[in-house]
C-alpha cells in the first residue's frame, strides 16, 4: 500500500524493528541513557539551547499542553488561523477559558504578518499568539519567521505558541533564531515514527509564563516533565516502544543534517506540485506558500472526491487524504514528508492518470500520451 497521507507517515524498517524490543524499566538507567540521547538529538533539530520535553500523546495533546501550561483563564490571546488546525488551536484555548481573538485568513492562503501586527496593535491586552506553522488541511506553510518578527515588533514580550506538528523535522524552523517560545511537533510526521509522541520546546519566556499560568493541568504539566527529565525519566509511564523508535529515527535525521532534511522536502514538494499540474489538476494552495510536506489538490468539476479516494485505495493501492471540514469532498491531499521518495509519488501520479478518466475527468493530451 502506498500511504500518501500527511500523517501517520510510513516508517523505515529499522524504526519499526526497534519497537519490537523487550520492555525496560522506565525508571532505570537504560531508559535514562536513551532519553538523554533523544533530548540531545531533538535540541539539535529544533535548533534550540533550551528545554525540549517529550510527552506520550498525540499532536492535539501537544496543542492542549501548550495552552494549559502557558495561559490562564481570561487571558486575551490572538488565534491566527489559516485552516482546520489553526481553528482547533483556538478552540482548545477557548475551552480552557482563554478569550481568543480569532484572526482567520482564507483557506489556501498564508497569514499576513502585517495584519497580525495590526491586530496586536489594536488590542494591547493580547499577550499571546497561537499560530500554525504548516497547515496540513490546506497545504500551506506560513512564513513563521516573518510572523514572529512582526509579533516582536509590536509586542516584544508576547508569548508565541507554535503548532509545528507537521513542519519541524521537515521544514526550516530554527526555534531560537526565530525567538519562538513554545513549539510542538508530533512523532507521526517528518520524524518517521508511529503516532504517540509529542516533542515540545520551551523558552525562558515560556517558563516565566508557566510560573504564572493558572489553567488546570496534571498529565500535561511541563514543570513535572522538566523535573523528571533531570533524572532521566518522564513523570508518567511513557510509550517505551515509541521512544525506541524515536531513538533510531533521530540517529538517521541527525546524520542527514538539517540542510539535507530541508532540501529533501523541497525536492519532494516541487516534484509533487509538478506532477499534479502535469495531470491538468489545480493546486488548492497559493503556490507561493505551498507546503513541502503536503500538497492539497482541487477535486475537478464533475468528479466525486469520495469516489476518487475510494477508487485509488481499493484498485490502485494508493491512500490519499481527503479534505477536512468545509473542504470535505472539494480537495484531496498528497503527503510527502518523512520517509517518502519520488518513486512513490510517481506511482501516485500514474494511479491518478488511470483513475481520473474513469470518473469523467479528461486528462491533458500530454498526460494521456504517457
Kindly report, residue by residue over 120-159, the tens digit of the pLDDT: 999 999 999 999 999 999 999 999 999 999 999 999 999 9
Percent of the chain with pLDDT over 90: 98
Please state the domain extents for the chain. 13-250, 257-368
User: Higher-confidence residue: 91 or 369?
Assistant: 91
Interatomic CA distance for residues 281 and 48, integer angstroms: 40
pLDDT in tens, 194-209: 999 999 999 999 999 9
Q: Which contiguous run of DSSP H or E holds residue 295? A: strand 294-298
Under 8 Å between Cβ of 292 and 190: no
Q: Is the dihedral of CA 283, 284, 287, 289 positive or negative?
A: negative
Fold observed for domain 257-368 = 3.90.1150
Mean pLDDT of 315-335: 97
pLDDT of 48 strictly over 90: yes
CATH code for the domain defined by 13-250: 3.40.640.10
Query: What mean pLDDT do residues 49-73 have?
Result: 98
Give the pLDDT of residue 369.
Answer: 60
pTM of the model: 0.97
Q: What is the DSSP letter of 10?
A: P
Say which residue the cell 497559493 belongs to. Answer: 286
365, pLDDT greater than 90: no
pLDDT at 238: 98
Q: Tens digit of pLDDT for each residue in 246-293?
A: 999 999 999 999 999 999 999 999 999 999 999 999 999 999 999 999
Amino acid at each position: 500500500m502506498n500511504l500518501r497521507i500527511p500523517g501517520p507517515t510510513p516508517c523505515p524498517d529499522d524504526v519499526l524493528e526497534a519497537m519490537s524490543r523487550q520492555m525496560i524499566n522506565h525508571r532505570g538507567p537504560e531508559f535514562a541513557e536513551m532519553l538523554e540521547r533523544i533530548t540531545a538529538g531533538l535540541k539539535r533539530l529544533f535548533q534550540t539551547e533550551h528545554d525540549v520535553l517529550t510527552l506520550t500523546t498525540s499532536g492535539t495533546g501537544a496543542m492542549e499542553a501548550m495552552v494549559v501550561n502557558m495561559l490562564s483563564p481570561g487571558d486575551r490571546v490572538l488565534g491566527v488561523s489559516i485552516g482546520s488546525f489553526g481553528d482547533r488551536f483556538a478552540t482548545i484555548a477557548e475551552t480552557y477559558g482563554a478569550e481568543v481573538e480569532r484572526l482567520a485568513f482564507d483557506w489556501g492562503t498564508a497569514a499576513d504578518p502585517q495584519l497580525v501586527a495590526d491586530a496586536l496593535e489594536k488590542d494591547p491586552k493580547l499577550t499571546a499568539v497561537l499560530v500554525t506553522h504548516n497547515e496540513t488541511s490546506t497545504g500551506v506553510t506560513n512564513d513563521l519567521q516573518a510572523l514572529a518578527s512582526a509579533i516582536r515588533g509590536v509586542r516584544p514580550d508576547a508569548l508565541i505558541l507554535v503548532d509545528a506538528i507537521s513542519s519541524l523535522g521537515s521544514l526550516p524552523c530554527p526555534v531560537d533564531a526565530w525567538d519562538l517560545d513554545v513549539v510542538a511537533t508530533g512523532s507521526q510526521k517528518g520524524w518517521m515514527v508511529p503516532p504517540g509522541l509529542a516533542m515540545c520546546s520551551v523558552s525562558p519566556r515560556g517558563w516565566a509564563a508557566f510560573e504564572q499560568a493558572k489553567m488546570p493541568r496534571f498529565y500535561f504539566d511541563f514543570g513535572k516533565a522538566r523535573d523528571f527529565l533531570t533524572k532521566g525519566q518522564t513523570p508518567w509511564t511513557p510509550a517505551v516502544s515509541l521512544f525506541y523508535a524515536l531513538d533510531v529515527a533521530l540517529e538517521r535525521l541527525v546524520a542527514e543534517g538539517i540542510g539535507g532534511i530541508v532540501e529533501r522536502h523541497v525536492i519532494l514538494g516541487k516534484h509533487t506540485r509538478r506532477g499534479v499540474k502535469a495531470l491538468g489538476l489545480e493546486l488548492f494552495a497559493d503556490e507561493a506558500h505551498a507546503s513541502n510536506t503536503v500538497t492539497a489538490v482541487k477535486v475537478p468539476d464533475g468528479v466525486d472526491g469520495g469516489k476518487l479516494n475510494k477508487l485509488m485505495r481499493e484498485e490502485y493501492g494508493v491512500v490519499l487524504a481527503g479534505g477536512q471540514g468545509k473542504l470535505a469532498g472539494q480537495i484531496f491531499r498528497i503527503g510527502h514528508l518523512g520517509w517518502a521518495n519520488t518513486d512513490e509519488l510517481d506511482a501516485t501520479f500514474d494511479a491518478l492518470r488511470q483513475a481520473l478518466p474513469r470518473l469523467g475527468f479528461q486528462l491533458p493530451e500530454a498526460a494521456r500520451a504517457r
